[in-house]
Structure 1
Amino acid sequence: MSLTVDHALLPETADDAPGNREVSGITFADLGLPEGIVRKLAQNGVTTPFPIQAATIPDALAGKDILGRGRTGSGKTLSFGLPTLAALAGGRTERKRPRAVILTPTRELAMQVADALQPYGDVLGLRMKVVCGGTSMGNQIHALERGVDILVATPGRLRDLIGRGACSLEDVRITVLDEADQMSDLGFLPEVTELLDQIPAGGQRMLFSATMEDEIQTLVDRYLNDPVSHEVDAAQGAVTTMSHHILIVKPKDKAPVTAAIASRKGRTIVFVRTQLGADRVAEQLRGTGARAEALHGGMTQGARTRTLADFKDGYIDVLVATDVAARGIHVDDIDLVLNVDPAGDHKDYLHRAGRTARAGRTGTVVSLALPHQRRQIFRLMEDAGVEATRHVIQGGGVFDPEVAEITGARSMTEVQAEAASNAAQQAEREVVRLTEQLEHARRRAAELREEADRLIAKAARERGADPGAAVAGAQAAAEVPLPQQPGAPDEERDAWAGREERTAAPSHDRRERRDDRGVRRDDRPGRPGPFLRP
């Protein structure tokens, strides 16, 4: 494939982004966090806070309402999570009455928030529980019965539990809304307001969002009391710190280009519009040798959790996701996002792009555009505040070196060669393993034969018999016949064929045969059966 550059700008690198730089000279201990949390952070290799953390944690520890605005991956979870843990340490929680609630828009995000905070909660002896759809409600009810200090919940499931009488929000002191703009996009705000109305006034409220729409501002005005605002990495400015590219492709080239980019080295998220599209693209990519799986809302929670875990652990390299399912994907080392289908609007584009260039790392966002989609995607980039490099892919079966450098795309021949090499290495390892097992079995057989001969000789001596003859006789009787090799003599094959033919003869044929006197066997007097004559 050849490439022509229609427009190119060089954005600042992710490392230069203000929100990705750690704040030099400030440590978590300086922010006022408990010693146990600071020590656990150091054990996990986290010593210097990100800007959103340095700005937010002191005010949160002081009990102030917080309005935080920062892009996905800027460190918001620790910004609200660590002060919440510190505030609840040493307190007592009644059954069914949590003292803090963290609301998230998706199941995956709820689980990841809990995973991020649980190690520090363990240090302080605090109990945390994830409450979301697609998981066992009975298990969640049982946990609430025992007492949960911090509930990390999606709005719908928390509302169901309250309706069943399994949970009450009357003791909630701290309320956090994480990714509030996503809740608005997914239509959860009516449920969110219903839940917030059940929480007593006077508690601490923290709201974090990447964008600030009118509905979010309504929540702020209604539920936050004189909030302290902290804005780091506004959504538009943050996305411009990544490398953005638009590849204009012909319809016939879209699938091959997708496969070549997905075959790159490293983790990749591929975005499509529908659940069926996710399944179809994932299957096509697996057919080309890529380790790809789909992730969408039509899957069970268990399947989604396993797929996401396999992606994090490196068992799969390509995740083909829809917008809703991918909103909770927080994996730090995703270095490329590929938009096979255009995002619905600029907010969806920002959320997609936010999956890469996390925690100070670099990232690339590539969008495929058919010729008739050019104007739509250019307008989308403009609304998102993104300057993207535009490339026209002419086709021809071979990637231009510049495209390969931008996307990491590899040819199918290269991918197939690597797959064949990996398969050969696996087969060679299997040969070594089987050879070792065979040698072990031979040694074991020799040991058992020696033990058997010793016991046979001993038994013969006890009977007054010749031990040597007894052992020889036992060995002769125990000879294991070798399997029949292919190419048996013709007469042996003929004998077996005749035997099989006689065996295969149906039973009703035997009934029709006559004996030497010409009388049917079943007709002979005294013979029971349906042919017996009076």
Structure 2
Amino acid sequence: MTDTNITPKFADLNLNPKVLKAIEEAGYETPTPIQAGAIPPALEGRDVLGIAQTGTGKTASFTLPMITMLARGRARARMPRSLVLCPTRELAAQVAENFDTYAKHVKLTKALLIGGVSFKEQDTLIDKGVDVLIATPGRLLDHFERGKLILSDVKVMVVDEADRMLDMGFIPDIERIFGLTPFTRQTLFFSATMAPEIERITNTFLSSPARIEVARQATASETIDQGAVIFKASRKDREATEKRRVLRGLIDGEGEKLTNGIIFCNRKVDVDIVAKSLSKYGYDAAPIHGDLDQSQRTRTLDSFREGRLRLLIASDVAARGLDVPSVSHVFNYDVPGHAEDYVHRIGRTGRAGRSGKALTIVVPRDEKNFAAVEALIQREITRVESPVQTGAPEADDAPKDEGRSRPSRSRSRSRASEDRAPRQDSPSEARSEPRAERAPRPDRNDRSDRGQRRGGDSAVVGMGDHMPEFIALSFDERRAS
């Protein structure tokens, strides 16, 4: 493993002077360990496998040497000179911003290929020729299959957040893209964790890579204060409602220390539910996940970065690569199904040496996954007392069928009188009803009543009140005889 303790200054890393000028203008002087370890072998043209926890500066580890290497030469139409693959639109957009920052004194062109954006605009950029192509795998293959893209001139290929790419099911796409690029390309892999599947991919597609590992595999930053609420609902059907109350209690308990925070849910539907619930209670919150329109996701992220949005409710699409240095808190509304995702989530806080706090809500079905998290990070997470007492849900956050009131008796009776024949009064109601208001009983001798004996003084016993008239005739004949 490469020694990453030699961390002088960027000026000592043999970068292009114009790149150094942009770095200085951005306010940076000393590289992070992953940058100091990865940049020299990358500049030598070697393949690189970089393993570092989230928030350590992996993006600059490949953008800086790429800009230096691409400063000479020019791209041809539809034939990009370098390719950066990212798992999500947000991460791809962030990489593009990094290129804009560090390449502003170098004449390099770039294109960003992500979903939710017009193909026409992207085709126009590609047709002119780009030095740097930043893309998500699906949109890249879409352009290739439409005949708009040729990858035979790619000199440098980067796979950013490689383990996340694999988790999201991009293995077939990644392998296909590798097959479309030249065998002689330089490949840079960057990842927060090193799963066995990553080993297989790197053994297949990287050639004697320089392995840079600057932190123990899957460790959380020591600047993050971690806590967990072990929560059991009063009733199974109230778990979701009471869990949201616990979340609100945790948020309220942090007070002014919570300047902004990200709340992670496992499912997209829960992202929407939690965001709506918090908004209903007056919290400044908005959702972000893969099913939202790209323009809406961009607006939400911009609001969060600029401090206009306090709480971002996210699925794991936002767990990687969001460069918001000043996130004060992370809340795990759900324990992630993969222990490595816990490290990525809480890595959104405590960045760049700042302190941060991560709080997790653990329900009984999460206990196994939570134990896997503690085993991975090799420490016990501090248990925190629940900020609220579980019990009957609050009226305006109760399940729909629990908060619904029963219709009144008078409403039921009036509805019955409209929809069907009037019901017979019960004996108690009949007794309480004034006698004068009762409907008169029919006259049993009235010939209009077909259930009565014709011309007789009494009804035929046992035949009911609605006996057909022709049956009564037979009784009359017998009595007459």
Length-normalised TM-score, structure 2:
0.75
- C-alpha distance in 2, partners of 1:394/1:131? 45
Q: Is contact 1:262–1:268 with CA below 8 Å preserved after alignment?
A: no
String of CA shifts for 1:191-245, please: whole Å, max 9, x gaps.
0110111111122111111111222112211111111111012343344552211
Question: Map of 1:10-409 to 2, 5 A cutoff?
Answer: 26-239=8-221, 242-251=224-233, 253-263=242-252, 264=255, 265-371=258-364, 373-393=366-386, 395-396=388-389
Q: Is contact 1:278–1:321 with CA below 8 Å preserved after alignment?
A: yes
Structure 1 stretch 328-337 or stretch 167-176: which is displaced more?
Answer: 328-337
Aligned pairs, number = 376
Classify 1:240/1:343 alpha carbon distance in 2 versus 1 (closer, same or farther; 3 Å).
farther
Q: Could you say what the CA RMSD is over the residues aligned between the two structures, in angstroms?
A: 2.0
- C-alpha distance in 2, partners of 1:151/1:234? 32
- C-alpha distance in 2, partners of 1:183/1:128? 22
Secondary structure at 2:38 match in 1:
helix
Q: Which amino acid aligns with 1:324?
A: V
State the shift of 1:160 in Å.
Answer: 0.8
Question: Map of 1:447-486 to 2, 5 A cutoff?
Answer: none
Secondary structure at 1:392 match in 2:
coil
Q: Is contact 2:335–2:362 with CA below 8 Å preserved after alignment?
A: yes
- C-alpha distance in 1, partners of 2:122/2:369? 45
Aligned position for 2:403: none
Q: Which amino acid aligns with 1:292?
A: A
Structure 2 residue ranges without an equivalent (≥5) = 234-240, 391-481
Q: Which amino acid aligns with 2:34?
A: I
Q: Is contact 2:53–2:192 with CA below 8 Å preserved after alignment?
A: yes
Structure 1 residue ranges without an equivalent (≥5) = 1-21, 398-534
Bigger fraction of residues in helix: 1
Larger relative contact order (C-alpha < 8 A, sep ≥ 6)?
A: 1
State the shift of 1:277 in Å.
Answer: 1.1
Q: Which amino acid aligns with 1:315?
A: R
Q: Is contact 1:349–1:384 with CA below 8 Å preserved after alignment?
A: no
Question: Map of 1:480-499 to 2, 5 A cutoff?
Answer: none
Secondary structure at 2:353 match in 1:
coil
Q: Is contact 2:18–2:106 with CA below 8 Å preserved after alignment?
A: yes
Q: Which amino acid aligns with 1:225?
A: S
State the shift of 1:329 in Å.
Answer: 2.3
Q: Is contact 2:219–2:377 with CA below 8 Å preserved after alignment?
A: no
